[in-house]
Structure 1
Amino acid sequence: MNEPLHLYLVLAMRTPAFQASAGEAHQAFLEDLIEQDLLELTGPFTDGSGGAYILRAADLATATQIAHSDPLHVTGSSTLTVHEWRARRPGAKD
């Protein structure tokens, strides 16, 4: 039986060393996550400071491993932090 997947919020904040080519590679990385059914939501911040995405993973270590393979992280273009997120819809019971 497969372990259930949990949600992880990945915050990607641009660094002064941001490279446009890393941004393009990041888009391909996200497409791969979509194909694997591991990406819940994604998008940039309107102020241009970075963006965020929500991963599905078995545990925090796996989510961190996935996020740290993001070209934004690998190139030092962005600082990525990963948080387990117990997201719920307003009014929903735990």
Structure 2
Amino acid sequence: MKYYAVFLPMLDVELSQTYRPEHLEYLEQRAKEGKILARGRFTDGWGGMVIYKAGSIAEVQQMVDEDPYIVHRARTYEIHEWEMLLTE
């Protein structure tokens, strides 16, 4: 399993507010499937980030393309494979 950081910069504040409940519901479903490690918004209003767990970038691309924020063009995105290192 690989990790992918998906940055979701804001395109349209109004659309983001409108589709936020659907976006959060979508992420909750992916989390229940074990596809999300972490998620959250940036406090400066820039957008948010989701850390997906997947076997390939194509799998992540498909999930991101189904996110209501992307479907309704409230946000855009960038996907980067992430080599997570934990420290104590």
Normalised to the residue count of structure 2, the TM-score between the two structures is 0.90
Q: For the residues of structure 1 that align with 2:32 and 2:26, how far apart are their CA atoms?
A: 10
Find out whether 1:35 has 2:25 as its counterpart: no
Identity %: 26
Cα deviation, residue 16, structure 1? 2.9
Counterpart among 59, 68, 87 of residue 84 in structure 2: 87
Shift of 1:90: 4.0
Q: Structure 1, residues 26-54: CA drift from partner, whole Å, max 9, x if none?
A: 00011101110111000000101100010
Return the alpha-carbon distance in structure 2 between the equivalents of residues 12 and 18 of structure 1. Answer: 15
Structure 1 window deviating more from structure 2 (39-48 vs 19-28): it is 19-28
User: Size of the alignment, in residue pairs?
Assistant: 87
State the alpha-carbon separation in 2 of the partners of residues 70 and 12 from structure 1.
11
**1:11 and 2:19 aligned:** no
1:66-81 pair list within 5 angstroms: 66-81=63-78
Work out the CA distance in 2 between the residues paired with 1:17 and 1:76: 11
**RMSD of the TM alignment (CA)?**
1.5
Secondary structure of residue in 1 paired with 2:9: strand
SS of residue paired to 1:68: helix
Unaligned runs of 5+ in 1: none
Distance in 1 separating the partners of 2:59 and 2:37? 16
The question of whether the paired residues in 2 share the 8 Å contact of 1:42 and 1:53 is answered with yes
Query: Who wins on radius of gyration, i.e. which is larger?
Result: 1
Q: Write out the 4+ residue segments of structure 1 that deviate beyond 3 Å after TM superposition.
A: none
TM-score, with normalisation over the residues of structure 1?
0.85
